[in-house]
């Protein structure tokens, strides 16, 4: 039987709320609003709230025009005031889940958001956690908090977990086309959450519980971390054996079944892949299971920036130059192509290691204006022939599409490429690592 809440969602009469308007929350808020629901975004960051209410976007993948239109139509608004929660029917939580310095899960944002929601929640609402977290979080962290204010899950409120799979910068898969996994605490919660996501996502995949949905996300990200580690170890092994790893992977990728190419790089980056597997490790250990793959992958990926820094030093050495005092122009600091996100970016690790050795580092990134390294602010420089030719080494760390590869290759005296961005461009001065 369709619940009253589900019917409201299907009829477009439900009022939706999204807590945490970042890379995950803002795109979701926009899609739900575009589907015809009235959406209120809630964030502690006043600047984000003001931007949305002024019809501006601060996320590359969300066009400002869309935000403007939805705000103008009265479909979307934002606030820092959690009192708005009492007027909502559905609430999606999309706040950060980082690691503590000890590499243990830091659920303080999730707990903070829930504690801010609780005084304003009422029976009849659907709460969906989207933040990536260890299996058991919904059952062990969210439900007890609801019960502590007398809201019994399954009786008063409905609760589900649905991991986010957004891939910033990916033009092929926007929110609508990425299937969404959902696990509700009860059949009613599952059904209501399916109806909510079904408004703006083509394919909603139901699983039997929040715990399974939580684990799905961690399997996906662990899969990437482990396979990238394999590619990174292959790269270091091939370097040792004098084999071009890129040629090997490209040839292996011609196998039409049983092989999926993963590529090496300067290390592992982004808010998710380097972080999320540690949520799983922590939980598994807490339950007495020792996960080995995740740890090994983490160690190999973490060693890659050091390997790249060593390669830069060797290349300069071959040209009778010391790393100390050498001018190095880093191309790209974002953690991956065509995004403006520098969280956990391995480019920053490589640059910091080079600074530690006395190199003079500058960088150019069309998406990132400034970074802070070893306590010093560096501003992105405009790329021109003089800047490129003036560097003792040019080090490609992020393969942004807009980099003019032939021009860079022609102007650089030494070019070290960590992403195979200069594939097909020949030259003794180009080194692929």
Instruction: Find all residues with CB under 8 Å of 220, minimum gap 6, and list them.
Output: 163, 165
When the beta carbons of 166 and 420 are compared against ligand NAD, the nearer one is: 166
When the beta carbons of 97 and 301 are compared against ligand NAD, the nearer one is: 97
Which of the residues 94, 185, 200, 272 is marked catalytic? 272
- DSSP assignment string, 285-300: HHTT---HHHHHHHHH
Q: In what order do the strands lie in the sheet with 180-184?
A: 76-79, 38-42, 15-19, 90-93, 126-129, 158-161, 180-184, 204-207
Assess contact for 18 and 55: CB atoms under 8 A: no
Residue 42 structure tokens: 């809630």
When the beta carbons of 105 and 234 are compared against ligand NAD, the nearer one is: 105
- Annotation says 200 is catalytic: no
When the beta carbons of 129 and 353 are compared against ligand NAD, the nearer one is: 129
For residue 356, the minimal CB distance to ligand NAD (Å) is 28
For residues 342 and 359, give the distance between their C-alpha atoms in angstroms, rounded to a whole number.
21
| Residue 396 host element (H or E) | strand 393-396
**Which residues share a beta bridge with 216?**
none
When the beta carbons of 52 and 297 are compared against ligand NAD, the nearer one is: 52
For residue 338, the minimal CB distance to ligand NAD (Å) is 13
Instruction: Find all residues with CB under 8 Å of 289, minimum gap 6, and list them.
Output: none
Rounded-to-5 percentages of helix, strand, coil across the chain: 40, 15, 40
**Residue entry with tokens 């390997």:** 307
In this chain, which residue has its C-beta nearest to ligand NAD? 22
CA 34 to mean position of chain CA atoms: 23
For residue 216, the minimal CB distance to ligand NAD (Å) is 12
CA 166 to mean position of chain CA atoms: 8
For residues 269 and 348, give the distance between their C-alpha atoms in angstroms, rounded to a whole number.
10
When the beta carbons of 96 and 265 are compared against ligand NAD, the nearer one is: 96
For residue 169, the minimal CB distance to ligand NAD (Å) is 9
For residue 230, the minimal CB distance to ligand NAD (Å) is 22
Residues contributing to the site for ligand NAD (CB under 6 A): 19-25, 42-45, 48, 94-97, 109, 112-113, 116, 131-132, 164, 166, 168, 271-272
For residue 174, the minimal CB distance to ligand NAD (Å) is 13
Catalytically active residues, by annotation: 272
């Amino acid at each position: 039987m369709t619940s009253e809440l589900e019917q409201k969602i299907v009829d477009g009469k439900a009022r939706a709320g999204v807590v945490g308007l970042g890379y995950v929350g803002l795109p979701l808020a926009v899609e739900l609003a575009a589907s015809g629901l009235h959406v209120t975004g809630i964030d502690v960051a006043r600047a984000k709230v003001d931007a949305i209410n002024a019809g501006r976007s601060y996320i590359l993948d969300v066009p400002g025009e869309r935000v403007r239109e939805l705000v103008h139509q009265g479909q979307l608004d934002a606030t820092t005031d959690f009192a708005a929660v009492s007027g909502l029917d559905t609430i999606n939580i999309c706040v950060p889940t980082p690691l503590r310095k000890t590499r243990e899960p830091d659920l303080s944002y999730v707990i903070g958001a829930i504690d801010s929601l609780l005084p304003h929640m009422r029976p009849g609402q659907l709460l969906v956690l989207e933040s990536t977290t260890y299996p058991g979080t919904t059952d062990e962290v969210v439900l007890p908090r609801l019960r502590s204010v007398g809201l019994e899950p399954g009786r008063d409120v409905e609760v589900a977990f649905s991991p986010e799979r957004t891939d910033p910068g990916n033009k092929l898969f926007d929110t609508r086309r990425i299937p969404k996994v959902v696990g509700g605490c009860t059949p009613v919660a599952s059904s209501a959450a399916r109806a909510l996501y079904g408004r703006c996502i083509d394919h909603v995949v139901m699983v039997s519980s929040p715990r399974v949905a939580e684990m799905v996300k961690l399997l996906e990200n662990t899969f990437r971390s482990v396979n990238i580690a394999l590619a990174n170890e292959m790269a270091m092994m091939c370097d040792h054996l004098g084999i071009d790893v890129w040629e090997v992977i490209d040839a292996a990728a011609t196998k039409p079944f049983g092989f999926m190419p993963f590529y090496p790089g300067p290390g592992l980056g982004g808010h998710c892949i380097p972080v999320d597997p540690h949520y799983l490790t922590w939980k598994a250990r807490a339950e007495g299971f020792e996960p080995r793959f995740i740890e090994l992958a983490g160690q190999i990926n973490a060693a890659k920036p050091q390997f790249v820094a060593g390669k830069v030093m060797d290349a300069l050495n071959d040209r009778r130059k010391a790393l100390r005092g050498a001018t190095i122009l880093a191309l790209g600091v974002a953690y991956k192509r065509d995004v403006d996100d520098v969280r956990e970016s391995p480019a920053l690790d490589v640059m910091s290691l080079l600074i530690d050795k006395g190199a003079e580092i500058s960088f150019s990134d069309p998406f990132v204006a400034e970074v802070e390294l070893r306590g010093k602010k560096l501003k992105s420089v405009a790329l021109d022939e003089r800047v490129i030719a003036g560097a003792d080494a040019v080090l490609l760390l992020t393969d942004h599409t807009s980099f003019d590869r032939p021009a860079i290759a022609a102007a650089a005296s030494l070019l070290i490429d960590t992403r195979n961005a200069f594939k097909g461009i020949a030259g003794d001065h180009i080194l692929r690592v």
